[in-house]
Structure 1
Amino acid sequence: MRKLIFAMNVTLDGYIAATGDDIGWSGDEGPDSSPRAELFQWWLDRERANEMFLYGRKLWETMSPYWPTGDQRPDATPAEIEYARNWRDTPKVVFSSTIDKVDWNTRLVTGDAVAEITRLRAADGGPMGIGGATLAGAAMRAGLIDEYALVTRPVLVGGGTPFFTALDSWVNLNLVETRTFPGGVVLTRYETRR
């Protein structure tokens, strides 16, 4: 059985995007500028550990214009080059009923997301990363998330898209890692207690 991991940048007040899908709070420095290099490396290592990525439409539309050719940009750093190559080479599944075409080693699912995630999770293989508030929320409510990784930025935005969705029942978690990055960014990683 595969492990399903939901990892995102999040504000201290619990949002993955501020009102209007604004993610400017996550920092505009490049991956090799201090203090972001250490955190970008953590994300790169995290993404390399996944055998598959599951994306909701909005996250796909954020990632797909940049990362397929991110390694070909003249100002690309070594970390960006590696991230782009890994992103392009790793199989991806996009869940959407509003788009009709995906590319870059990607498959589109327009039907029941929970049923497909359940099927993928039951298969043999390595970890899968899931991203996108709506998609991850559906997986959360279905009890499919095995690990939550919150990369908390020291900023309050007051509203927007929450990391966690409303649930019908409690989910007990075990803390498995904490780490502090430069700039006051804190990683907390939890596994679902089953």
Structure 2
Amino acid sequence: MRKIVLMMSVSLDGYMEGPDRDISWHRVDDEVHQDANDFVAGMAGLLSGRVTHDLMADFWPTADADPEAPAVMAEFAAIWREIPKYVYSRTLEHADWNTTIVREVVPEEVRALKERRDAELGPGDLALGGAELAAEFLRHGLVDQIRLYVHPVLIGRGKPLFPDTDTVTGLHLAESRTFGNGVVLLRYDVERD
């Protein structure tokens, strides 16, 4: 069965964004971007909340139309347009770019999506993005792996990736990689009882 992989960037102090959704502190160079491209290209689909989806849909569909766009950005634009996307939203009425709108996180439906094999979804895991959606998936025990790009910066305040919880989730470090710019990739498998 495919995995659901939470894939996010965080500051060293655990924030996924600063105040006013600021992500200017992200240190994504060509090396980090290429790693993300390679990973996402192997995914069967992307799962995100409305805010994350809107941010992506506002930029990536035409990012490669800019002749000044770096090659890694142009490559990701093509990957993003083609990959199946599932956006979880109670309010979104329409979404383009190979996107399916899902109203609620229903664990049985998510498990069925993990098991689904057809021409639309194909092989590969499912990448999960967005703090609120990730919290909901974690609450239901639906996350199988966590892939964090930890940026070497302390931003002091903002939106934490992981909300307060009374649940302890065991993790097993499966991979770590340090990029030339100081970003560290940490990949953890979620331990199951």
TM-score (norm 1): 0.90
Per the alignment, residue 74 of structure 2 pairs with: 81
Q: Aligned pair in 2 of structure 1 residues 136, 37: CA closer, same or farther (>3 Å)? A: same
1:156, 1:82 → 2: CA distance? 30
- Give the residue type in structure 2 aligned to 1:84: A
1:60, 1:42 → 2: CA distance? 21
Q: 1:174 aligns with which of 172, 175, 181?
A: 172
- Give the residue type in structure 2 aligned to 1:179: R
Q: 1:71 aligns with which of 31, 55, 64?
A: 64
SS of 2:21's partner is coil
2:107, 2:62 → 1: CA distance? 31
1:37, 1:48 → 2: CA distance? 16
Q: Aligned pair in 2 of structure 1 residues 21, 116: CA closer, same or farther (>3 Å)? A: farther
Q: Is the 8 A contact 2:105 2:136 kept in 1?
A: no
2:163, 2:112 → 1: CA distance? 22
Shift of 1:115: 4.6
1:154, 1:38 → 2: CA distance? 15
1:168, 1:117 → 2: CA distance? 23
Percent of counterpart pairs with the same letter?
Answer: 39
Q: Is the 8 A contact 1:2 1:120 kept in 2?
A: no
Shift of 1:132: 0.7
Per the alignment, residue 148 of structure 1 pairs with: 146
- Give the residue type in structure 2 aligned to 1:157: I
- Give the residue type in structure 1 aligned to 2:6: F
Shift of 1:106: 0.5
1:176, 1:111 → 2: CA distance? 31
Per the alignment, residue 185 of structure 1 pairs with: 183
Q: What is the aligned length?
A: 187
SS of 1:190's partner is strand
* Structure 1: tracts of 5 or more residues without a match: none
Q: Is the 8 A contact 2:175 2:187 kept in 1?
A: yes
SS of 1:42's partner is helix
Shift of 1:51: 0.8
1:38, 1:9 → 2: CA distance? 15
1:177, 1:131 → 2: CA distance? 19
Per the alignment, residue 91 of structure 2 pairs with: 98
Per the alignment, residue 17 of structure 1 pairs with: 17
1:128, 1:165 → 2: CA distance? 22
TM-score (norm 2): 0.90
